């Protein structure tokens, strides 16, 4: 196996940032230690990261994160309201979302996104990774739900991680 000096260029700044936040101090010595860890950890955990992560549209990623935060906020309010209003009036249901994403990272991010946003939890992924089963807390129109998941979350993730 060829040893590269910087196997995962994105992981290094992320790990450095996590180190700085963990130690909760911003002096230069700490930053240096963080950079060292950010450089060394990806090399020692190389086998754990089979795919190299590539971000193709950083701006789309930022917009996606902003949208996600907004959706998480509304998700919380929606679910809180559904719980308070009483369970008799909700209509839970399962929907199957056919996946266009192929990379492991893309699929995990999509599943995480679905679980964090309004009234849906990702429940099951088939072994071929072609379909994701999603449980919705209040499903009145299954087709519209699948369509909105694909439009709102899968399309930007496809653009960011797997452009054609």
Partner 1 sequence: MADSVLDILLAVLILLGGLFTFIGSLGLVRLRDFYSRLHGPTKATTLGVGSLLIASMVHFSLRGEGLSLHELLVTFFLFITAPVSAHLLSKAALHLRVQSVAKMPAIIEEVEEASTRTEPHR
- Contacting residues toward partner 1, per CB under 8 A: 18, 21-24, 26, 72-73, 75-77, 79-80, 83-84, 86-87, 90-96, 111-112, 114-116, 119, 121-127, 131, 133, 135, 137, 139
Choose between 6 and 104: whose C-beta lies nearer to partner 1: 104
Backbone angles phi, psi at 92, to 5 degrees: -70, 155
Backbone angles phi, psi at 79, to 5 degrees: -65, -40
User: Nearer Cβ to partner 1, position 46 or 125?
Assistant: 125
Q: Which residues pair with 125 in a beta bridge?
A: 132
Q: The tokens of 22 are what?
A: 């963990």
Q: How far is CA 15 from CA 21, 24, 117, in A?
A: 10, 14, 26
Least distance between partner 1 and beta carbon 20 (Å): 9
Q: What distance in Å separates the CA atoms of residue 73 and residue 120, rounded to the nearest whole number?
A: 14
Residue 134 CB, nearest approach to partner 1 (Å): 9
Measured from the CB atom, the residue of 4 and 131 that comes closer to partner 1 is 131
């Amino acid at each position: 196996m060829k040893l590269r000096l910087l196997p995962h260029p994105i992981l290094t700044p992320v790990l450095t940032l996590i180190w700085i936040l963990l130690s909760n101090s911003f002096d230069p010595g700490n930053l240096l230690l963080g950079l060292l860890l950010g450089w060394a950890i990806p090399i020692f955990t190389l086998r754990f990261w089979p795919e190299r992560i590539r971000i193709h549209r950083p701006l789309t990623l930022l917009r996606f994160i902003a949208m996600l935060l907004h959706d998480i906020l509304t998700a919380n309010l929606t679910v809180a309201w559904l719980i308070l209003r009483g369970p008799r009036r909700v209509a839970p249901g399962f929907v199957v979302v056919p996946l266009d994403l192929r990379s492991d990272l893309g699929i995990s991010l999509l599943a995480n996104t679905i679980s964090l946003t309004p009234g849906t939890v990702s429940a099951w992924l088939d072994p071929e990774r072609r379909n994701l089963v999603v449980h919705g807390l209040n499903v009145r129109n299954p087709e519209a739900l699948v369509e909105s998941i694909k439009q709102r979350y899968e399309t930007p993730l496809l653009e960011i991680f797997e452009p054609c």
